[in-house]
Amino acid sequence: MRSMIAGLAIAFSPILIEVATAAEEASPEAFNNACRTCHSWKEGDNRLGPNLHGIIGRKAGAAEGFGYSNAIKSSGITWDETSLDKFITNPDSFIPNNNMKPFTGVADAATRKQIIDFLKTNPN
């Protein structure tokens, strides 16, 4: 019996490792630390900031029921990885006069990538 369990563990371990790696890449931790105070990713769930459900590919200023600044509404942006990265590096230099305050940006590129990878998974 014991050897059978050991055999199973060996047979399944490559799968377990793969799952762990994927989860690590899209970890919510960076998002939770930097964004979650103000943003939810759930559809319709606007907080201090608009919900970020499906934000990649979404037009700026499009979360229903959220009162955006004119700066965001008239930015003409459709969010993709590049624009998101620029925005969260330094919101005010990318879209001057936006209202995402007092958030001043995430300086670390690896952390920004983690946040964006997480938003791409678009969990509900």
Token digits for 17? 């490792």
Is position 17 an interface residue for ligand HEC (rule: CB under 6 A)? Answer: no
**Rg of the Cα atoms in the chain:** 19
Is position 26 an interface residue for ligand HEC (rule: CB under 6 A)? Answer: no
Is position 34 an interface residue for ligand HEC (rule: CB under 6 A)? Answer: yes
Is position 53 an interface residue for ligand HEC (rule: CB under 6 A)? Answer: no
Q: Which residues touch 103 (CB under 8 Å, ≥6 apart)?
A: 34, 38, 91
Token digits for 21? 């790696």
How far lies 114's CA from each of 11, 58, 120, in Å?
30, 19, 10
Is position 55 an interface residue for ligand HEC (rule: CB under 6 A)? Answer: yes
The span of 5-13, 19-27, 54-62 binding ligand HEC (CB under 6 A) equals 54-62
| Partner residues linked to 78 by β-bridges | 59
Is position 109 an interface residue for ligand HEC (rule: CB under 6 A)? Answer: no
Q: Which parts of this chain interact with ligand HEC (CB under 6 A)? A: 34-35, 37-39, 48-50, 52, 55, 60-63, 68-69, 71-72, 79, 84, 87-88, 98-100, 102-103, 106, 115
